[in-house]
A and B are shown apart, each in its own frame.
Chain A
Amino acid sequence: QSVLTQPPSASGTPGQRVTISCSGSSSNIGSNTVNWYQQLPGTAPKLLIYSNNQRPSGVPDRFSGSKSGTSASLAISGLQSEDEADYYCAAWDDSLNGRGVFGTGTKVTVL
């Protein structure tokens, strides 16, 4: 069902840098911007990055996003225990009259 592909898991020790990839196509990431959402256990998703690399007010600058071609990445530097969560990328897809699409999700574990 998911149009955007992410690795199922990623991990790191406190203080390390973790990177999550998001692979799409020309109809979504290739032509529109990418957003990232963080979902802590048992809670609603929260906007983490929008327009490829913009952080909403209140999001720590440890989180950064980038996009190149039909792929995007989320980097978490200085990993903290509270960063343990599921992360989803998302974008608008221009196919089929336009639709929103999400990534498959990545579970980040802090070791």
Chain B
Amino acid sequence: QVQLQESGPGLVKPSETLSLTCSVSGGSISDYYWNWIRQPPGKGLEWIGYIDYSGSTNYNPSLKSRVSMSVDTSKTQFSLKLSSVTAADTAVYYCARGRATYNYGDYVWYFDYWGQGTLVTVSS
């Protein structure tokens, strides 16, 4: 059974960099897209971006200037860095495994396994 677990500081000061790691167990890190998704308290879901096992990335354009992701295949971990944080970045951050294929020309893209999420608060 695939499991994902987020880890990192729960409190980050404004203007600093948020850093989180997602540890993957029970499955290979190859052949999938590894995603970060966040949810501000009481609000909806926002896709942050993904990284694949080779290190190729795709970031949400709204966050692209501040986001960086990396992958460590030997440790089956992947990481998120979000710079210059403000209170608006306070959210529960989830990591999730992404799958992608094509079905009669339509792009099939979904998250089949999620971590439990970790709350990151931006405050001085």
Give the interface segment out of B24-32, B68-76, B79-87, B102-110: B102-110
Q: What is the bound-complex CA distance between A1 and B116, given in angstroms?
A: 24
Q: Is the CB of A102 within 8 A of B45?
A: yes
A109 at the interface (CB under 8 A from B): no
Q: What is the bound-complex CA distance between A101 and B109, given in angstroms?
A: 11
Q: What is the bound-complex CA distance between A43 and B115, given in angstroms?
A: 10
CB-CB under 8 A from B45, the residues of chain A are: 37, 45, 88, 90, 102, 105
Interface size on B, residues (CB 8 A): 23
Q: How far is the CB of A31 from chain B (nearest CB, A)?
A: 7
Counting residue pairs across A and B whose Cβ atoms lie within 8 Å, the total is 73
CB-CB under 8 A from B109, the residues of chain A are: 32-33, 35, 91-92, 100
Q: Is the CB of A98 within 8 A of B58?
A: yes
Of all chain A residues, the one with the shortest Cβ separation from B48 is: A100
1/0 contact string of A82-102 vs chain B (CB within 8 Å): 000000101110101111111
CB-CB under 8 A from B111, the residues of chain A are: 35, 37, 45, 47, 90
CB-CB under 8 A from A60, the residues of chain B are: none
A100 CB contact (under 8 Å) in B35, B103, B117: B35
A68 at the interface (CB under 8 A from B): no
Q: A1-B62, A100-B35, A101-B47 are in contact. Are A92 and B107 (CB under 8 A)?
A: yes
Q: A44-B116, A105-B44 are in contact. Are A96 and B61 (CB under 8 A)?
A: yes
Q: What is the bound-complex CA distance between A66 and B62, given in angstroms?
A: 29
Q: Is the CB of A33 within 8 A of B106?
A: yes
Q: A1-B62, A44-B116 are in contact. Are A50 and B110 (CB under 8 A)?
A: yes
Q: What is the bound-complex CA distance between A21 and B115, given in angstroms?
A: 27
Q: How far is the CB of A99 from chain B (nearest CB, A)?
A: 5
CB-CB under 8 A from A77, the residues of chain B are: none
CB-CB under 8 A from B61, the residues of chain A are: 96-97, 99
Taking Cβ atoms with an 8 Å cutoff, the residues of A that contact B are: 1-2, 31-33, 35, 37, 43-47, 50-51, 56, 88, 90-92, 94, 96-105
